[in-house]
Amino acid sequence: MTADVLDRIIQKLTFLGPLGDTVHKWLGRLLAGDSPTALAKEFLNGSWLGHPLHPALTDVPIGAWMGASLLDVADGGRGGGIGRGADIMVAVGCAGGVAAVVSGLADWQDNYGKEREMGAAHGLINTGALALYSTSLALRIKGARGPAIGLSLLGLGAVLTGAYIGGDMVFRLGSQVNRNAFSEGPSKWSAAAEEDEVVEGAFVHKQVGHNQVLLTRLGGEICAVSAICSHAGGPLDELPIEDGQLHCPWHGSRFDLRTGQVIHGPATAAIPVFETRTREGKVEIRRP
């Protein structure tokens, strides 16, 4: 399926936009402030892991359900030991599928525009796959193997379609990709600002080579970091520094100004930090 075909299909599903907006509003209320659900969202985003959690969790249902289909074929629908192995794989996939849906919702909540629509399609298809496999599991327990295997195959088709759309979101739209992934250098000391324009409590925003850099002082020490939030590219110079931390205005991620490490999600990747020195009245920076 080419990107064009996928885009045309998504455009025809005109209900996706309004549906996505409604669920987004509802989730926004549920996840507001410092509520336990907001903390759960940060956990599900994967900030603690340094990597989005959702793509890792999706491997569980895809792998388990695919394994179940292979075992079903090997069992030939007889319901012997191999067939029971397939049943267990379906159950494992359903448990992993619930975790994948919940973590996917946590990531999707921070999407907008086309990513939100594509994410709604991805989520709907995968939730449909989970429903098909859950029904298949119930039928397997009752001993109705024929219909159960049929539903599993339908579910497998759905989950692979959903996986394709999820991959398209990442590799074509850049959803969940570290926005500083391609920023490199400068490897040599490079002039970034006049020494006296870098002051405590304010940012100087400079372009140095291919990098957008923020310079400021913290306790007199000159700090230089990327101006771009790793989560979705938010501007890190719009909100004041608090407790030595940068705050992203878009989804609330916080980063340590000295180390660039994530203090608070949804960001999972640290932002680049530059070494600094002063020479002849100029602040110079380089990547460690």
Whole-angstrom Cα distance, residue 2 to residue 59? 23
DSSP 188-200: S-EEEEEGGG--B
Q: Which of 46, 93, 162, 234 binds ligand FES (CB under 6 A)?
A: 234
Query: Would you state the structure tokens that stand for residue 73, as one six-digit string?
Result: 């074929």
Give 40: exposed, middle or buried? Use CB within 10 Å, 0-12, 13-18, 19+.
middle
Q: Is 16 in the site for ligand FES (CB under 6 A)?
A: no
| Count of beta carbons in the 10 Å neighbourhood of residue 191 | 15
- Our finding on whether 231 is near ligand FES (CB under 6 A) is yes
- Binding piece for ligand FES, criterion CB under 6 A, among 22-30, 61-69, 122-130, 246-254: 246-254
Asked if 106 is part of the footprint of ligand FES (rule: CB under 6 A), the reply reads no
Decide: helix, strand or coil at residue 271. coil
What's the min distance (Å) between Cβ of 239 and ligand FES? 11
Q: How many other C-beta atoms can be found within 10 angstroms of the C-beta atom of residue 16?
A: 18
Q: Using CB under 6 A, which of the segments 31-39, 40-48, 155-163, 249-257 binds ligand FES?
A: 249-257
Q: Which stretch binds ligand FES (CB under 6 A): 13-21, 151-159, 205-213, 224-232?
A: 224-232
Residue 251 CB, shortest distance to ligand FES, in Å, is 3
Q: Enumerate long-range contacts of 26-29, CB under 8 Å, 24 or more apart.
A: 27/105, 27/109, 28/109
Among 111, 253, 268, 276, binds ligand FES (CB under 6 A): 253
Contact flag: residue 228 with ligand FES (CB under 6 A): no
> Which residues have C-beta within 8 Å of that of residue 112, sequence separation ≥ 6?
none
Give the nearer residue to ligand FES in terms of CB position, either 264 or 282: 264
The distance of closest approach from Cβ of residue 248 to ligand FES in the complex, given in angstroms and rounded to an integer, is 3
Position 267 contacts ligand FES (CB under 6 A): yes
215 contacts ligand FES (rule: CB under 6 A):
no
Question: With CB under 6 A as the contact rule, which of the stretches 11-19, 38-46, 143-151, 227-235 interacts with ligand FES?
Answer: 227-235
Of the pair 112, 194, the CB lying nearest ligand FES is at: 112
* DSSP symbol at 143: T
Cβ-based nearer residue to ligand FES, 156 or 232: 232
Dihedrals φ, ψ of 213, to 5°?
Answer: -120, 140
| Strand, coil or helix: 276 | strand
When asked if residue 232 is in the footprint of ligand FES (CB under 6 A), the reply is yes
**CA dist 18 → 91, 113, 117, 215, 278 (Å):** 33, 11, 9, 41, 53
Contact residues: ligand FES, CB under 6 A: 110, 229, 231-234, 248, 250-253, 266-267
